[in-house]
Amino acid sequence: MTDHPAPHPARPRLVLASSSPWRRQLLERLTSSFECHSPDIDETPHRDEPPEVLVARLARQKAEKTAIPHAGSIIVGSDQIALHDGSILGKPGHMDAAFDQLSRFSGQHVRFLTALTVIDPAGMARHHTEPFDVYFRHLTAEEINAYLAREHPLDCAGSFRMEGLGITLFERLDGRDPNALIGLPLIALCRLLRESGMDPLLAMP
């Protein structure tokens, strides 16, 4: 009787709890083998909820809701907020509001908080929040208008896109992982994935 080697256990699926094309592109730097699922959650802040608590809660809720129809998978949830003078920044929605935001930021700094929750196949959740500070140059009205006309960042909190021409607005950046600005801190994510049993170098084609 010939002995047959035991089959390798199936690798758990990886599911990104987001519909963001930017997060999807970042995760594709690690692997092409993942699915995307956009959970529907209420993102309204709770009364007197600190920003650090809010962003971590939303990342956790996205991951938890996505885990329900994807049992046995590794789930990645993420959320991001931007702060100026302690206040959460919203998406401008129209050009006048975007101009006002960037005018306020001239010579100032904006802090981004990007939260991660990774849920492993056994249901254990791991969490991380990555801070990143952006320091703006002193901007002229002409520069702001030129930037807005070229980029139209009306759907971006803070009225700029780091992955585009937003880099031209900055004096300096201060943080561990610039990917956090785009919405997915990959250094922290790799650590959480390894702790969840999926090494990006060994188990992710």
Q: What is the pLDDT of residues 166-179, one digit of tens each?
A: 999 999 999 999 99
The residues spanned by each domain of the chain are: 14-195
Arithmetic mean of pLDDT, 127-149: 96
Alpha carbon distance 190, 35 (integer Å): 17
Tokens 């083998």, located at residue: 33
- Is residue 136's pLDDT more than 70? yes
Alpha carbon distance 139, 108 (integer Å): 10
Q: Are 177 and 29 in contact (CB under 8 A)?
A: no
Q: Which pTM was predicted?
A: 0.87
Residues facing 63 on adjacent strands: none
At 173, list the tokens: 């950046």
- Give the CATH architecture of domain 14-195: Alpha-Beta Complex (3.90)
Q: Which residues are catalytic?
A: 79
Q: What is the pLDDT of residues 28-46, one digit of tens each?
A: 999 989 999 999 898 899 9
Q: What is the pLDDT of residues 57-94, one digit of tens each?
A: 999 999 999 999 999 999 999 999 999 998 899 889 99
- Is residue 7's pLDDT more than 50? no
